[in-house]
């Protein structure tokens, strides 16, 4: 379906479907449905549920503080039952990002944005780096982006050296690592 078709089907704000009135049971069902579809951190799940609470309170009225208490209790219950685990999420995400060639800086930034604590971020980034080094990750990134020794036309390699170094720097790699990868010989 084309974007223009979707925009035409989208109803104006006043005509959209009204949110359901929030209750503890409704929030639990919404949380379980969300966790069935997505891996999430405690912070992410809370954001999703608070948005639902805010929409419901805006339309139906009610006590926001009571609903937020339900959200906190629900999240505690889900953590206790092992359905949400920030450490497991961070480990999975760090290994996945590292395997796709992301730098330690980018991995740490993405995990912090998801609400993972600094200690867990540091630990999981170190574990991912032990598995795939920073140099190996930069090599993966250069191969994916056709930089340095992976350029399609190797005759333009010298002309694009600064551009390739800048691309690796933007990807979060240090100058030393970027220089080593860009100046290396093609395999």
Show the domain range for 99: 86-131
Are residues 169 and 117 located together in one domain of the fold? Answer: no
5 domain residue, yes or no: no
- From 116, 131, 146, the end of a domain falls on 131
Are residues 75 and 29 located together in one domain of the fold? Answer: yes
- Of residues 60, 47, 132, 146, the one with CA closest to residue 98: 132
The pLDDT of residue 51? 94
Are residues 47 and 30 located together in one domain of the fold? Answer: yes
- Band the pLDDT of 165: cuts 50, 70, 90: very high
Side-chain-side CA neighbours of residue 49 (13 Å): 31
- In this prediction, residues 12-37 reach a mean pLDDT of 87
Neighbours of 115 (CB within 10 A): 17
- In this prediction, residues 10-26 reach a mean pLDDT of 78
Are residues 76 and 93 located together in one domain of the fold? Answer: no
- Band the pLDDT of 6: cuts 50, 70, 90: low
The pLDDT of residue 155? 82
4 domain residue, yes or no: no
pLDDT tens sequence across 59-86: 888 889 999 999 999 999 999 999 999 9
Q: How far is CA 51 from the centre of its chain?
A: 19
Mean pLDDT, the chain, integer: 90
- In this prediction, residues 100-107 reach a mean pLDDT of 96
11 domain residue, yes or no: no
Q: Is the predicted pLDDT of residue 106 greater than 90, yes or no?
A: yes
The pLDDT of residue 174? 95
**Angstrom distance (rounded) from CA 64 to CA 58:** 10
Are residues 71 and 123 located together in one domain of the fold? Answer: no
- From 80, 100, 121, the end of a domain falls on 80
Are residues 154 and 126 located together in one domain of the fold? Answer: no
The pLDDT of residue 90? 96
Are residues 164 and 111 located together in one domain of the fold? Answer: no
Are residues 66 and 107 located together in one domain of the fold? Answer: no
Virtual torsion, Cα 68, 115, 74, 84, nearest 10 deg:
170
- From 56, 80, 104, the end of a domain falls on 80
Of the candidate ranges 102-111, 138-147, 148-157, 170-179, the one whose mean pLDDT is the lowest: 148-157
pLDDT tens sequence across 43-52: 999 999 999 9
35 domain residue, yes or no: yes
32 domain residue, yes or no: yes
Helix/strand/coil for 116 = coil
34 domain residue, yes or no: yes
Q: Tally the domains of the chain.
A: 3
176 domain residue, yes or no: yes
101 domain residue, yes or no: yes
- Of residues 158, 101, 172, the one with CA closest to residue 182: 158
- pTM for the structure as a whole: 0.80
Are residues 33 and 69 located together in one domain of the fold? Answer: yes
- Band the pLDDT of 10: cuts 50, 70, 90: low
């Amino acid at each position: 379906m084309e974007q223009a078709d979707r925009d035409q089907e989208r109803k104006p704000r006043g005509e959209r479907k009204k949110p359901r009135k929030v209750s503890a049971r409704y929030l639990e069902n919404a949380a379980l449905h969300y966790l069935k579809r997505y891996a999430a951190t405690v912070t992410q799940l809370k954001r999703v549920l608070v948005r639902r609470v805010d929409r419901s309170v805006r339309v139906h009225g009610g006590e926001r503080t009571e609903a937020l208490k339900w959200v906190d209790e629900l999240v505690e219950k889900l953590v206790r039952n092992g359905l949400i685990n920030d450490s497991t999420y961070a480990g999975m995400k760090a290994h996945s990002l590292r395997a796709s060639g992301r730098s330690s800086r980018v991995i740490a930034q993405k995990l912090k944005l998801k609400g993972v604590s600094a200690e867990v971020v540091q630990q999981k980034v170190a574990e991912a780096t032990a598995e795939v080094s920073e140099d190996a990750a930069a090599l993966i990134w250069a191969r994916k982006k056709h930089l340095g020794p992976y350029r399609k036309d190797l005759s333009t390699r010298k002309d694009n050296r600064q551009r390739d170094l800048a691309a690796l720097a933007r990807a979060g790699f240090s100058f030393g690592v970027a220089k080593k990868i860009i100046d290396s010989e093609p395999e």
